[in-house]
Amino acid sequence: MKKIFFLSLAALMSTALFAQLQVATFEDVEVSADSVYLLNETGTFTSGDFTFDQDVQNYGVNYYFGNVVTSKKANKYLGDAQNYMSSKGGAFAGSNFVVWYTSYIGADRVHLNEAAVIPGFYICNTPWVIDAVENGDGMSGPFEAGDYLTVIINGYLDGNAVNNQIEFKLVDGTTPVTEWTYIDLSELGEVDEISFTMDGTKKNDYGLTTPTYFAMDNFGAEASTEAVENTFVDEKAHKAIVDGQVVIIRGNKTFNIMGAEL
């Protein structure tokens, strides 16, 4: 029988692998009130212990992909494509948050300064997605039972994909996520890079027709102890030592720090 010893919080934090991450709250990115932080060319910005890609492409005017920091508090779609708002209206906490949009050149990832197990982050829809769910996206009709829009989260360590991925439905049938919702990432194991992709039922020959945007906040945070209407944590993961090996345990499953199930 395997012997399992649950580590104390102090012991975990004394281990480099589980050293406490400085959360990306985005409050350390200077953004004017009701505005956005936009680079002049493709590059990165940092918040907490994380670095975020932002891709700038010029099609007569600049369009922004990847991660855009915003302080906008409105939550109504008015036909403007890159509106940088959350469907909740504003950030999960503080003033700033990020709106993510897929970059076709891949400059849309999140990087850690040092490899670690990421606890999780908060996610929310954007008003444009909500409008597409309710009214269609101009190429396909409103969402119906059986439709979905899913965020797929993958982790990497030293350039190699870990063995797990996490999927979260931003829209399930006709029901979109409209509140800030926590996603637990600890099952990915130790990573130094995170990527997002999106999949759904509204597609044509060129891919998804649903806008591929979502809002995120407090990247690298533990789930808040304050009341939150939605929390996506199938079963909270625990870090432990099994036969002298540091592992992650979720329910009746055990994973090594690379994310492989044992």
DSSP readout, 57-98?
EESSSEEEEEEEEE--------S-S-----SSSS-SSSS-EE
201 pLDDT tier (thresholds 50, 70, 90):
very high
Select from 228, 234, 256 the least CA-distant residue to 117.
256
Choice between 118 and 228, residue whose per-residue pLDDT is larger = 118
Q: What is the dihedral of CA 4, 254, 217, 17, to 10 degrees?
A: 60
pLDDT of residue 163: 84
The CATH-assigned architecture of domain 22-234 is: Sandwich (2.60)
Q: What whole-number distance in Å separates Cα of residue 160 and Cα of residue 155?
A: 8
Sequence spans of domains, the chain: 22-234
Choice between 162 and 232, residue whose per-residue pLDDT is larger = 162
**CB neighbours (10 Å) of residue 147?**
19
Choice between 2 and 216, residue whose per-residue pLDDT is larger = 216
98, two tokens: 């990020």
Condensed to tens digits (0 to 9), the pLDDT of residues 62-119 reads 999 999 999 999 999 999 878 999 999 999 999 999 999 999 899 999 999 899 999 9
pLDDT of residue 4: 44
pLDDT of residue 7: 42
pTM for this entry: 0.82
